[in-house]
A and B are shown apart, each in its own frame.
Chain A
Amino acid sequence: MIELVKVEKRYSGNTVLDNISTSFLTGKTHILLGQSGCGKSTILRLIIGLESADNGEIFVDNKDVSLISRIEISAYFGYVIQDKTLMPHLTVLDNILLPVRARKIATDSVMEHFDFLKKLVELDDALEAKYPSQLSGGQKQKACLVRALILNPPYLLMDEPFSALDPMIRSALQVELKKIFAELEKTVIFVTHDLNEASFLGDEITLINSGRIIQKGQIQELKSNPGSEFVKSFFEAQSQQF
Chain B
Amino acid sequence: MHAMRRLLALTASALLAMPAAAQAHGLVGRRDLPVPSWLFAWAAAAVLLVSFVGLGALWHKARLYKAPEHRVFRVPAWFEIPLGALGVALLGLTIVSGLFGVQIDTANFAPTTFFVALWVGVPFASLIVGDLYAAINPLRALGRATGWLGSKLSGGNVPDALVMSERVGRWPAAVMLFAYAWVELAFPGKTDPSQLAVVIIIFCLIQAVGMSLYGTDQWLQRADPFTAWFSWVATLAPLRWERGTLYLRWPTVGNAKRRAIAGDAAIVIVAIGTTTWDGLSGGDILGPPLANLSNDVAKLGIFGVTWSNAVVQTFGMLIVVGLVTALIFAGVRGMIPASARRAAATRPSPDAPADGSPSPAADLDGAAPAGIDGAAATATITRPSPAPADGETKPATRTGPPPVRRLVREFTPTLVPIGVAYTVGHYLSLLAFQGQAFLPLLSDPLGHELLPGQGGWLGTAQWTINYTWLTSNAIWYLQVAALLIGHVMSLVLSHDRALERFPRKRAARSQRAMLVVAVVFTCTGLWLLSAVG
- Co-complex (A, B): no
Q: List the interface of chain A (C-beta within 8 A of B).
A: none
